[in-house]
Amino acid sequence: MTSQSLSARKVKNVTMIGLTVIGTILALIPLFSIFAYVIARGMPAINIDFFTELPKPLGEEGGGMVNAIVGTLIVVGISGLIGIPVGIMSGIFLSEYGRNRFGRFISFLTDVLLGVPSIVVGIFVYVLLVLAMGGFSAYAGGIALSILMIPAVTRTTEEMLKLIPSHIREAGLALGLPKWRVILFIVLPSATRGIVTGVMLAIARVMGETAPLLFTAFGNRYWHSSLSDPIATLPVQIFTYAISPYKEWQAQAWAGALTLIVIVLIFNILARVITYRKNH
């Protein structure tokens, strides 16, 4: 090897590393700009009232979004109650029992479902549930979001389980354990961290969904009286306020956006803490 080729290689090496660093920075710029901008615009409208009070009628000062914050948690909660178990179970099926034609078919459908635009899911639930039940409701909103959540949870669960090496499964089977116990008590716990991360991403994704909620949860300026009634959610509230011509409302929309980001962040941190504790 000549010294010239070595120095040429070094130059190439530095160039390529430089390019990856530049790429990373380029990818992070929008992220941090969004954070910075949302914080800058949102902070002024954040105060105790924002988290404790209902929206004030137009023209009155103050008011908050407490109904929308709670509403988002409720609607996402409903979607999680449906979407997480169904998604995890489908994921288990695809990874552990689905290595056949039927499994591949389901897997294909999951991919299709993953690509369905969220507004289409909204219309679907609107026609099927909202019209049938006679009105917008928290349930309809939750179900619409769960339809978006299921394929995402299914996919990550499947991928995470497939990462568990087969010799772990064999070790369980060779102990004379039935397959379902091996899956439930040995394979699944080994994949917890990945699955929880996937579930969190799915939750974060649906938490910001607006389009399907317009047709299903609709929105509400007051507290919802029951889960079968229209309910306020942060994304819809942000949307309504942001497109309004009033300065006050626009400021509150930014505050709502900031709140939404923080909620998602809290969920992510919680998930990390829980899975970290489990593994240490």
Partner 1 sequence: MGIEVNNLNAWYGDLHAIKDINLNIPKNQVTALIGPSGCGKSTFLRCLNRMHEVIEGARVKGEILVDGEDIYGSNVDPVTIRYRIGMVFQKPNPFPTMSIFDNVAAGLKLNGMRNKKKIREIVEQSLEAAGLWDEVSDRLDKNAMGLSGGQQQRLCIARTLAVNPEIVLMDEPTSALDPISTHKIEELVHRLKENYTIVIVTHNMQQAARVSDNTAFFLNGEVIEYNTTKHIFSNPSDQRTEDYITGRFG
Contact set with partner 1 (CB under 8 A): 99, 165, 167-178, 181, 185-186, 189-190, 192, 278-279
Comparison of 10 and 278: residue with beta carbon closer to partner 1 = 278
Comparison of 18 and 165: residue with beta carbon closer to partner 1 = 165
Comparison of 17 and 171: residue with beta carbon closer to partner 1 = 171
Structure tokens at 74: 């409720």
**DSSP 8-state class, residue 63:** B
Comparison of 85 and 189: residue with beta carbon closer to partner 1 = 189
Q: Least distance to partner 1 from the beta carbon of 179, Å? A: 8
Closest CA to 212 of 79, 73, 80, 107: 79
Q: Least distance to partner 1 from the beta carbon of 109, Å? A: 22
* Token pair 């941090």: residue: 32
Q: Least distance to partner 1 from the beta carbon of 274, Å? A: 14
Rounded Cα distance, 236 and 269, in Å: 25
Rounded Cα distance, 12 and 6, in Å: 10
Comparison of 10 and 99: residue with beta carbon closer to partner 1 = 99
Contact 63, 56 (CB under 8 A): yes
Q: Least distance to partner 1 from the beta carbon of 168, Å? A: 6
Structure tokens at 216: 């299903």
Rounded Cα distance, 182 and 177, in Å: 6
Structure tokens at 111: 């991919």
Q: Least distance to partner 1 from the beta carbon of 74, Å? A: 33
| Helix 192-207 × helix 138-163 angle, to 10° | 150
